[in-house]
Chains A and B, each alone.
Chain A
Amino acid sequence: MKNILILTQFTLREAFSRKIFIMFSGVTLFILAVAALIFSFVSVDDFQGMVNVNGSQLEIFDKIVEVLKLVIVVPLFGIGIFLAIFSTSSFIPHMLEKGSIDLLLSKPVSRSQVILGKYFGGIAVVFINIAFLILGSWFLIGIKFGNWDPSFLLTIPTIVFAFAELYSLLILIGIITQSSVLAMMLTYLIYFIISPILSYRDNIFSFIESKTTEYILETLYYVLPKTQDLSTINSELAAGGSVPDWMPVILAFTFIILTIATSITIFSKKDY
């Protein structure tokens, strides 16, 4: 346990030595600052003036807050995870380089501890960044609109969880291929193309009436990461709703366990 903690800390440190994370945090701060600035110039009355014309005042006012939250969270899910994959994809290949893996494995740590340390370290890094941005926005919205709905904060674990699913895949590919480019490309492919397609497989079925295609797509959907579904859940939560369907969460969790277990098994057998 202590070893995992040391390795996690160390991974965090590695991440923060990278320019990409400094950039990430910089962008986060910048967005928050801009939002704060806009908020301080535009008063709540202006908003009310805008929406006074039609409908119930309160209802539309809530709508604005909701839209605002979505405007923050939806791009964050996309860009945040994109950057997170980009910057963590080299963790494993770097670790496996000659000269650093020899030294690491010569220490009294087991190979499963090494993998878990890297895994939690990567997640911790992303958690810190995402939590910082979401908490910051939540405070700004709360102060400005008096809307302190805590369900908005649930998007922190959701985004981090979606990353955790993809990161487990990055680790597996990294262990097998030792290539950060390959790990990154395959993960992007799943994240941006395959998962969205599989998520809307029902629409495809109505076009192609082939039982085989249906069967293949259905299987792939259950086997591969379901980040698109998690993105949907994320938006629901941001807008103050609840999780519409727990199935993708359970499947993603299973995926993580199996992928990490496979990574550990393969890593434990390899000669370095």
Chain B
Amino acid sequence: MNCIEINNLSKIFNPNTKKAVAALNDFNLSIPNGTIFGLLGPNGAGKTTLIKILLGITYASTGDAKILGEDILNYKVKRKVGYLPESHKYPPYLTGEQVLKFYAKLSGYSHSELDKRIEHLLKQVKMNKWKNTKVKAYSKGMMQRLGLAQAMVNDPELIFLDEPTDGVDPIGRKEIRDILFELKNEGKSIFLNSHLLSEVEMVTDRVAILDKGVLLKEGTVEELTTDKEIYNFEFENFVNANIDLYKEQFSIIGHKGSKLTVTVNDTRELNKLLDRFRNDGVLIKSVVPQKNTLEDMFISLIKESEENK
């Protein structure tokens, strides 16, 4: 089953005015249960707007969506959902522990186990020491940790995190990543918004790239970062003298010792190259399609979409 299903979703803020903004444009997406999903995009791409629509905080202009199999307009489905907003304010007069208790109750989670669960969560986000301190004294990083605990307090099946590592130091980020992996192991689905690509690359199973409200690409990190047209070869023996002959026929973009980087147009051309190596008696140790970082791909994709405008 899919934890999220979005059909032809569009959002225009302030329609029919001069200030009209198309924040989302005919957005379609399905995310299977148990996935850590990363939505990437530059500032203003529409990431936060998408989450807010899924949670009923903002309304879609057209289209519809389901979370956990229920229409998003049915507010009761949010019992099983957690959310860490981009900016979050808690009643300053409450302590960290009281904040968790309040939002748990509001989520309809009032088990006899609640106190124990809160205790456990506070330990998990390393805020146990501060649980009796009023939140008005918390730092940005502490707020973020409390926010994460708050997003998990009702034992949700689906968790939305909007820029979760914002304002958190590197150690904190590592801790947050570990928590995300734990949640995944428990079978939870996680939807993550971020503009920090390296972060996302480390935790997500699938990613989508959003720019100006348009979904540019979606797939596994593997799929998105593998550029099928560039191959790295490594050889046992390679007759250096032949290289110029190869260059006449193929586009060799790198050559160093027994290593060669080649661009091919398609699989047919790749096999032609392999045949040629075989004919020349070259011993191939490995052929590896070149992997870009998510960042490389992201930048080229955004550029491309800019040029096409």
Residues of chain A at the chain B interface (Cβ within 8 Å): 2-3, 6-7, 10, 14, 17, 97-110, 269, 271-272
Contacts and interface: CB of A to CB of B under 8 A. Distances in A.
B246 interface: no
A102 B163 CA distance: 15
B268 interface: no
Interface in B163-190: none
A106 B57 contact: yes
Size class of B's contact patch? Answer: 20 to 34
Contact of B85 (A7, A103, A110): A103
A6 B110 CA distance: 12
A17 B93 contact: yes
A106 B57 CA distance: 7
Interface in B64-100: 75-79, 81, 83, 85-91, 93
B111 interface: no
B13 A99 contact: no
30 contacts: A2-B108, A6-B106, A14-B91, A17-B91, A97-B89, A99-B87, A99-B88, A100-B89, A100-B90, A101-B57, A102-B52, A102-B86, A102-B87, A103-B88, A103-B89, A103-B90, A103-B103, A105-B55, A105-B56, A105-B57, A106-B78, A106-B83, A108-B75, A108-B79, A108-B107, A109-B75, A109-B106, A271-B52, A272-B52, A272-B57
Given A106-B55, A108-B76, A98 B87 contact: yes
Nearest to B14: A271
Most interface-central of A2, A102, A106 (chain B CB within 10 A): A106
B130 interface: no
Contacts, number: 72
Contacts of A10: 102
Contacts of A14: 91, 93
Nearest to B102: A10
A103 B105 contact: no
Contact of B88 (A17, A102, A110): A102
A103 B59 CA distance: 15
Given A17-B93, A99-B87, A106-B57, 8 more contacts: A100-B88, A102-B57, A106-B85, A108-B77, A108-B106, A271-B58, A271-B59, A272-B57
Contacts of A105: 55-57
Most interface-central of A6, A107, A110, A269 (chain B CB within 10 A): A107
B58 A272 contact: yes
Interface of B: 13, 52, 55-59, 75-79, 81, 83, 85-91, 93, 102-103, 105-108, 150, 160
B294 to A, nearest CB: 28
A27 to B, nearest CB: 21
A272 B85 CA distance: 12
B85 A102 contact: yes
B109 to A, nearest CB: 10
Nearest to A272: B57
B106 A3 contact: yes
A9 B290 CA distance: 59
Contacts of B52: 102, 271-272
B85 A271 contact: no
Contacts of A102: 52, 57, 83, 85-88
Contact of B81 (A104, A106, A269): A106
Given A17-B93, A99-B88, A108 B108 contact: yes
